[in-house]
Amino acid sequence: MAGIEILFLDNHLLAANKPAGLVTQPSDVHADSLEGRAKAWLKEEFAKPGEVFLEAVHRIDRPVSGVVLFARTSKALSRLNASQRSKDCTKTYLAIVGGVPPRREGRLEDRLVHDSHRARVHPDGKPAQLDYHVLASQKGRSLLRIDLLTGRYHQIRVQFAHAGWPIVGDTTYGSRATLPEGAIALHHWKLRIPHPVGERETCHFVAPVPGTAPWTDFSRFM
């Protein structure tokens, strides 16, 4: 069975660190998925008979790595979805982009539309907002910390490409660089969200960044 990196597990939640190149959920095109691997791991680890309930609370794109949270019960899923709708959670990403933003920190605000398997900036689109902070710049690339304020399709990828700083490896949105396994230099680093059951404190999940280039080029800044 293919491996899976578990970040957190209890009776209600499972958080895992998704590698780039793997889809979050299975499809007709991609049979292997993080969800499938997690279900297989749970079934084997706890010798569970029959089907295993596990539903993704959110998804990240196939070429993106990082935290993915799953609900192990329908009650947890409903409450976690409600937390996301009420924006009672925070999602922090790391990205390596081509170019150097002129300011150390800022906010990107655009309106995005979703066409087939791409998104683009359009005045009739839905509002998209994110905050960024430049952690380091070298050799024409910059490491950014990103706080996602809305959750539009391909939002981070589109907004930084539109600003003139495409995510390294993201040839779909203008990067001239390519990375192995179809990866792009975008990583869902941290997720904070209230635990869905009881009086438990807010959960804080952190996914280690990939130990490969170009991440290793900026490792001392993370």
How many helices (H) does the chain have, and how many strands (E)? 3, 11
112-125: pLDDT as tens digits: 999 888 999 999 99
pLDDT > 80? residue 199: no
State the pLDDT at residue 30.
78
pLDDT value, residue 1: 46
For residue 106, give every residue at least 6 positions away whose Cβ sits within 8 Å of its Cβ, in sequence order, or none: 131, 132
In the chain, how many domains are there? 1
Instruction: State how far the Cα of 71 lies from the Cα of 138, in Å rounded to an integer.
Output: 40
**Is the pLDDT confidence value at 164 over 60?**
yes
pLDDT over 90 at 169, yes or no: yes
pLDDT of residue 2: 64
Name the DSSP letter for residue 180: G
**pLDDT for 115:** 87
Distance between CA atoms of 39 and 43, rounded to whole angstroms? Answer: 6
Residue 209 has pLDDT above 50, yes or no: yes
pLDDT tens for residues 95-113?
Answer: 999 999 999 999 999 999 9
Give the CATH number of the domain where residue 155 resides: 3.30.2350.10
- Please state, in angstroms and rounded to a whole number, the distance separating the CA atoms of residues 112 and 119: 7
Q: Helix, strand or coil for residue 48?
A: coil
d(CA 149, CA 173) in angstroms, rounded, equals: 21
User: Residue 110's pLDDT is what?
Assistant: 98
Angle at the Cα of 179 from the Cα atoms of 36 and 159, rounded to 5 degrees: 85
Residue 133 pLDDT grade (very low, low, confident, very high; cuts 50, 70, 90)? very high
pLDDT confidence tier of residue 131, bands split at 50, 70 and 90 = very high
| pLDDT of res. 221 | 95
Quote the pLDDT of residue 192.
97
- Per the CB < 8 A criterion, the answer to whether 149 and 130 are in contact is yes
Residue ranges making up the domain that contains 54:
5-221
Measured CA to CA, the distance from residue 37 to residue 33 in angstroms comes to: 6
Q: Give the Cα separation of 27 and 164 in Å (integer).
A: 33
- Per the omega criterion (within 30 degrees of 0), is the bond before 123 cis? no
pLDDT (tens digit per residue) in 2-59: 689 999 999 999 999 999 999 999 887 878 999 999 999 999 999 988 899 999 999 9
As annotated, the active-site residues are 61
Strand partners of residue 27:
none
**Residue 151 confidence (pLDDT) above 90:** yes
